[in-house]
Chain A
Amino acid sequence: MNRIMEPAHGSQPTADGLDWQPHIIALACNWCTYAGADMAGTLRLAYPPNVHILRLPCTGQMNAMYVLKAFEQGADGVIVSGCHPGDCHYARGNMLARRRAAALRRLMHMLGLDERRLHFAWVSASEGAKWAKLVADVVEEVREAGPIGEWAASETSKRPNGRTSKGPVVLPDAGPPPRGKPSRESTRAVTDHLQTLARELLETGAASQVIGYQQSNSRSADRAIPALVTRPDDAASLTWDETCRSNLTTYLTRSASVRLGEATPVASNGAVDLSIEGKSVASRPAPGAVAVVVKPCDAKSIIALQQEGQLNRQSVIAIGVPCDGVWEGDRMAAKCYACPGGVASLADWTVTEKGAVENAEGKVDGDDRFPLPTAPDPRIAQVEVLWESDAEQRWAFWQEQFRLCLRCDACRATCPLCYCESCITEKHRPQWISPAADSVGNTAWNFIRAFHLVGRCIGCDACADACPADIRLDLINFALAREIEDRFSYRAGEDADAAPPLATFKPDDPQEFIR
């Protein structure tokens, strides 16, 4: 049911497994590979009939969603094929696709989809023979990988036990944290200076809003909650301590005065000009800048948002606070192990125990607590265990987590880089991602969420922190960030002028996986 192929020659193996034929979807570029496949026909070359070609204008249009959808609907393998480097009819589509494909393969691999199912090739219009051989080779590899199986097999009412023929993946525990919690005196002193600064910013009108943290005594969760302060008197509610785990910069793109493209033009008298074709219809006082309390990790999202043209940096006042690491109960957050702490260097105001200083770039005289001792990020070892397990084990590991996903979208809401006005999961003509919190919908959502953050995620772990199902979203993001760093020597959130890694290319990018 619900497959693009008829069950009769779909991927259902018979009892003896002999009649099963792999189904391959080929995403072929119109100019090279499609013509190349045509050439194979003209040359009367025989190749297995298992491939269905979907013609794209360019491999640059290869969308992770297309690949995912093919697998979701029963394809056992996917080929993406287009023009050789240098031959792209849109100049660089295939080069961008090469980077995207590299990331997509690694994500697929991490989530336990057998890499033998996804193939890339350069096939020109004259390479009919190469196309025929490619299809024959891929069919054999996919045959070895076997049928994709019923993606939606696990009923929600049944609980898989994570067991596979090789046993479940067991992740190593995080070792002892490299340091303890900050002292109460320290956080109290910072809180005092922070409150004074916030009050001043609001009183002088330098900021129209201060986004900070406040304590909540009405929840059992050991976590400070956001405080959106606009009245100077309310600055007294602000706080700073090790429970300030969330990343408040997610509020920035929700602010009309901060988000680029939505900023209203300001007239010479300082009033917001709401004129239509020069005819003023209304005016109100100009909204001031928005001040936001940031840890060093959160600050990276300001850079990433700037880099992606989403944020008017002039409208943001970054208040850097000295971070010793954040904690959930007696567990230090994984992201803090390798971080030496301190104040974000991009801070417009640096607040420490000693006071609040403007334009201090994260350093205040007399405050020499940092850098703090570090330890390797515990996720390095965890990701290694996952990479070393086999695909079946990884699939079981992630499916067990994804099946608990409620599709509440808290991961998206808390992510500072999930700023799209309309998310892929909300697009329903066609429905790319099933809205249901079932295995099809949950796998698709978690897959695409991760892919849309490849090379962009700055590692604040707000998503994993918010997840009610405790899905290790941070581990997926972390694993992919390492792959991007290894391959493209790029770390997200460090340089506002750098091109995002999947939006650029180098002519000599590695392509060991492309035939």
Chain B
Amino acid sequence: MSPRNPRKYVVAEPDIRSWLDELISSGWEVVAPVVERGPCRFERIESASEASLDSSAGIRTRWSAKEFLLPRQETLVEYSACDGSVQFEEAPLDTQPRVLFGLTPCDAAGLERLAAVFRSGPSDPYFQARRDATAVVTITCREAAPECFCTAVGGSPGDEEGSDVQITVIEAEERGASAEERGARPRHTYLVRSLTEKGHRLIENSRASWTPSTDEIEDRVREQLQQVEMTVDRQAIATGSSELLERSFDDSVWNEVADPCLGCRICTTVCPSCSCFDVYDKGSAACGQRCRCWDGCTQKLFTAHATGHNPRNTQVSRLRQRVLHKFSYFPNEHDGLSMCVGCGRCAALCPAGLDVHQTVMRVIERMQSRQPQEGAANGHGA
């Protein structure tokens, strides 16, 4: 999905909203950040007016948009038993065309990681059907939050991975203006770039009234994004770290870093790339469904056997699993690609205050201090 002839336009905010309304009326299901009646989150919208387009810091939803590819709960098979035989009926695949609008670039990258998991081994038709029918529109970040670390794992505030269309707010010249002044100013203009065939189709009907962009504007936007990138202030996790981390499996450092973990799964539920699910049945002997729902490796039931044995019987081993899956096992199988995209949601919300970037850095540092020679070879710094 490399950019092919990206199409670029300068679009005013009202036109962005008309575009969304256009998509809705032409049969797309549009999912966008919503702030009404709850925390900022992704919801299916009926009208563009419901979407939260931007704030001075950019849009930060509490949790990712993964539920529109991997729903919190979905039925796989329905069964019914009558006259001594059992009938199975597979649930229809969800092929509803859907636009995920307003994702951050790290969110879009997270969905790519999710896709990599569901692509490996036997393909998952439920996920794949949604994925094929989904187009992703990202909005680049205007500011880094303290917990953001996309640049430490190979991303950036203007990353195009996983985006079909990417939108950037064209900042007014005076960046020093206060939030209030910015709020009072007339609405933003945006640089809209469609990056893929899917993206081109998405803007096909609306772009006629948009103004083509200029090199000057694109240069300005590029410069803007570089400035935002510099504010992501976290040390890079070197691509070679995954093997070092794998060797940390039995190291006592894990007891230290995992000590505060309370064993909830706030981190896995808000994560854009955590893919684990549980399969369960509901119903009776006569009829029912086999379903799947989100699960999380940080909770003890995740690996509990029917015998009562639990191979990950301590909270330390469970937290270690999540961290090593993101930063070691997955990268080892995907050319060093980090499964974590650095959105920082888990760190922002963890009630125990655990910050996955700091956790990884601590483990890496400890391992390097234990193996000074290899440590030098695997030194961090991008």
Binding site for B on A (CB under 8 A): 1-4, 156-159, 162, 214, 216-221, 225-226, 228, 246, 250-251, 254, 400-401, 404, 406-410, 412-414, 426, 428, 431, 434-438, 441, 462, 465-466, 468-470
Contact = CB atoms under 8 A, between A and B. Distances in A.
B291 interface: yes
Given A218-B358, A406-B269, 4 more contacts: A156-B72, A404-B39, A428-B301, A435-B293
Given A221-B349, A226-B260, A437 B293 contact: yes
Nearest to B67: A156
Interface of B: 29, 34, 37-39, 41, 43-44, 62-63, 67, 71-73, 78, 145-147, 259-260, 262-266, 268-270, 278, 280, 282-284, 287-289, 291, 293-296, 299-301, 344, 347-349, 351-353, 355, 357-358
30 contacts: A3-B284, A156-B67, A157-B71, A216-B355, A218-B355, A219-B355, A220-B146, A228-B259, A404-B41, A406-B269, A406-B270, A406-B294, A407-B294, A408-B264, A408-B266, A409-B266, A410-B262, A413-B262, A413-B263, A413-B351, A414-B262, A414-B351, A428-B280, A434-B282, A434-B293, A435-B293, A462-B351, A466-B349, A468-B62, A469-B38
B73 A412 contact: no
Given A157-B44, A436-B280, A410 B38 contact: no
A158 B283 CA distance: 24
Contacts of B352: 225-226
Contact of A1 (B71, B259, B266, B287): B287
B355 A246 contact: no
A438 B347 CA distance: 25
A251, A401, A413, A428: most-surrounded residue (chain B CB, <10 A): A413
Contact of A408 (B146, B270, B284): B270
Nearest to B57: A220
B43 to A, nearest CB: 5
Contacts of B287: 1-2
Given A414-B351, A435-B293, A1 B283 contact: yes
B275 to A, nearest CB: 15
A441 B289 CA distance: 15
B270 A4 contact: no
A226 B269 CA distance: 21
Contacts of A470: 38-39
Nearest to B315: A254
Contacts of A462: 351
Contacts of B280: 428, 431, 434-436
Contact of B264 (A221, A412, A465): A412
B349 A468 contact: yes
Given A219-B348, A410-B351, A435 B262 contact: no
A258 to B, nearest CB: 15
A22 B29 CA distance: 38
Contacts of A159: 34, 43-44
A140 B294 CA distance: 41
Contacts of A436: 72-73, 280, 291, 293-294
B73 A437 contact: yes
Given A409-B299, A412-B264, A435-B280, A469 B293 contact: no
A441 B73 contact: yes
A218 B349 CA distance: 12
B333 to A, nearest CB: 27
A426 B264 CA distance: 12
Contacts of A437: 72-73, 269, 293-294
Contact of A410 (B147, B266, B283): B266
3 closest residue pairs by CB, A with B: A225-B353, A436-B73, A436-B293
A1 B289 contact: yes
B146 A219 contact: yes
A408 B269 contact: yes
A473 B287 CA distance: 35
Given A1-B287, A2-B289, A466 B299 contact: no
B347 A218 contact: yes
Contacts of B283: 1-2
A220 B63 CA distance: 15
A246 B264 CA distance: 15
A251 B262 CA distance: 8
B279 to A, nearest CB: 10
B63 A406 contact: yes
Contacts of A441: 73, 293
Nearest to B270: A468
A220, A404, A465: most-surrounded residue (chain B CB, <10 A): A220
Nearest to A438: B73
Contacts of A408: 264-266, 268-270, 296
B266 A468 contact: yes
A462 B358 CA distance: 24
A441 B78 CA distance: 19
A218 B62 CA distance: 17
